[in-house]
Amino acid sequence: MSDLSVEKKGRKPSFVEALLVLVAAAAMISFGVLKLGVDAHIPIVFSATLTAFVGRWVLGIRWSEIEEGMLQGITMALQAIIILMTVGLIVGSWILSGSVPSMIYYGLDILSPGFFLLASLLICSVVGLATGTSWGTTGTVGIALMGIGAGLGIPAPLTAGLVISGAYFGDKMSPLSDTTNLAPAVAGTDLFTHIRAMVATTGVTYVIVAALAIFFGMKYGSGTLDASRIDAIQALMAAEFHISPMGLIPPLIVIVLAVAKLPALPGLAAGIGAAVLMCIAQGTGMGDIIGALHYGYEAALASEIAGAETLEAVSQLMADHSIVGVAPEMAQEVGGMLNELLTRGGLDSMMWTISLILCALSFGGMMERCGFLEVLLHTILKGVRSVGGLVAAVIASCFVSNLFLGDQYLSIVMPGRMFKGAFDEKGLHPKMLSRSLEDCGTLTSVLIPWNTCGAYNAGVLGVPTLAYAPFAFLNYLNPIVAIVMSYLGIAVSWQEGKDPKADKA
């Protein structure tokens, strides 16, 4: 009989087989993204095809099992995909209602280049802590801060890096965050023990990042503030949107509901509902509201001014909308910037990212089911003896998982399952494992272009992943700080009665 039910389940790959598949997949993805300049989708599909081929015909694993692994990989991130779609609705409705433009408008009044970067870090940290979502933070407050930064003359990659650092600090330390709940569940500890354990490594890193924000703020704050540019931005936004303190109501509703511990999706839905009601009160037609929710907001006046063929045409548009005190040349320049910044959002805008997520998670699920990463990580683990080495191995495995499995959830679950026994055997407290999983698994996901987090943030902030990555200081410094502290024996926690120093005493 050749029925699948009687086929053998196959074998585990050897170290050499696993290494070859990993290297081949890395080569295909890197060549496509870095050399050819194409999107990561098809190179990842090629990598998944190679993985499935080796798993089926070399290792003898049943196709039904490979397919099940692929589907399970996708299933783990379904909640994140739904949140991603919801954020698309939020961005479209919050721009149309004037919420995001109002945040930019008033932010330009109160923020200066000297402390803008530090303020961005702190604001996103607070919002992330309150809401428990880095995606929601960068997709709302983050967009507003990108607009303010552009008005203040701050380079977009630098602003994006500090926005992401703050958002991921808040996400990582918030009891409302899904990853903050997932890591201790995998490691075998409780939520608040896990959060207290992260204070040591994340706190040190945050102080370093704050110092860097002050340094870069002083660097860009030493120049003369271009008041005419800020005036032009505010004038054009006031002509196109309803600018009012009422625009702050939708984000405040989301934050208040998050603090009240309402689940993320209902809280975000309330923010959308508030924005829709504001649009109706402003006289916006239902067709335009649905269009913004589905396709995103499309800048009208800013687009017209940016695309005007002559300065006389720009002057006429400005006169038609009662825009005074702004030079036509400046208006056209600012119009192009606002058109690029505010033409975004909507359900459709997230489909590119969701398709990338589905490709990456299919690949990751196949890699996990065929056992390639498990074999490699187990081989690495054999040579680990010290606490620092064990923590470094977890962090390295989380980064590799983010690189090849395409999602931060998988990069927490898979290394967590693999290293739990090693931490127990060493006598280390489970919070050491949960802390290490988040120190890298949660944070480095946003640094990889084809990872769910990297793809999302590049799309929503309008800055390529590899452009903002050098300035996402928290996200790559935290893993380094964690490794150094572990090797130095700082903030190392043991199970009761397992501390070697206590035994010597």
Residue-by-residue pLDDT tens, the chain, 505 positions: 334 333 446 888 998 999 899 889 878 877 887 678 777 789 889 989 999 999 999 999 999 999 988 888 788 667 767 877 887 898 889 889 998 888 888 877 777 778 889 989 998 888 787 667 788 788 777 888 888 888 888 899 999 999 999 999 988 988 767 788 778 877 888 877 888 899 999 999 999 999 999 999 888 876 556 677 788 888 998 999 999 999 989 888 887 887 787 777 888 899 899 999 999 999 999 999 999 999 999 988 999 999 998 999 999 999 999 988 888 998 998 888 788 778 878 899 888 778 877 887 788 788 888 988 778 777 777 777 788 999 999 999 899 888 876 768 778 877 887 788 788 888 899 999 999 999 999 999 999 988 878 988 998 898 999 999 999 999 999 999 999 999 999 988 888 877 676 555 4
Cα gap 469→475, rounded to integer Å:
8
Place of tokens 């050897």: 14
pLDDT of residue 2: 39
Give the pLDDT score at 468: 97
Give ∠ CA 459-465-468 in degrees, rounded to 5.
110
Q: What is the pLDDT of residue 425?
A: 82
The encoded tokens of residue 88 equal 């698309």
| CA 279 vs CA 100, 236, 319: distances in Å | 13, 19, 26
Residue 444: its H or E element: none
Q: How far is CA 312 from the centre of its chain?
A: 43
Name the DSSP class of 14: P
Q: What is the pLDDT of residue 224?
A: 56
> How much is the pLDDT for 226?
65
pLDDT at 93: 92
List the beta bridge partners of residue 494: 428
Place of tokens 């959830």: 409
Burial label for 80, CB within 10 Å (0-12, 13-18, 19+), is: buried
In this prediction, residue 391 carries a pLDDT of 93
User: Containing H/E element for 10?
Assistant: none
DSSP reduced 3-state for 37: coil
Q: What is the pTM of this model?
A: 0.70
CB-based contacts of 116-119 (< 8 A; 24+ apart in sequence): 116/148, 116/149, 116/152, 116/154, 116/159, 116/217, 116/221, 117/154, 117/158, 117/159, 117/162, 117/213, 117/214, 117/216, 117/217, 117/220, 118/210, 118/213, 118/214, 118/217
Q: How many alpha carbons fall within 13 Å on the CB side of residue 18?
A: 21
Residue 352 in tokens? 């590119």
Q: So what's the pLDDT on residue 8?
A: 44
pLDDT of residue 1: 38
On whether the CB atoms of residues 301 and 239 are closer than 8 A, the answer is yes
Whole-number pLDDT of residue 272: 93
The residue extents of the domains of the chain are 15-76+362-498, 79-349
Q: What is the pLDDT of residue 241?
A: 93
First to last CA, the chain: 67
Q: Between the CA of residue 51 and those of 362, 364, 374, 377, what are the distances in Å?
A: 10, 10, 14, 17
Residues 6 or more apart from 278 whose CB is under 8 A from it? Answer: 97, 98, 99, 242, 246, 247, 249, 250
Contact 67, 89 (CB under 8 A): no
CA 238/CA 98 separation, integer angstroms:
9
pLDDT at 4: 39
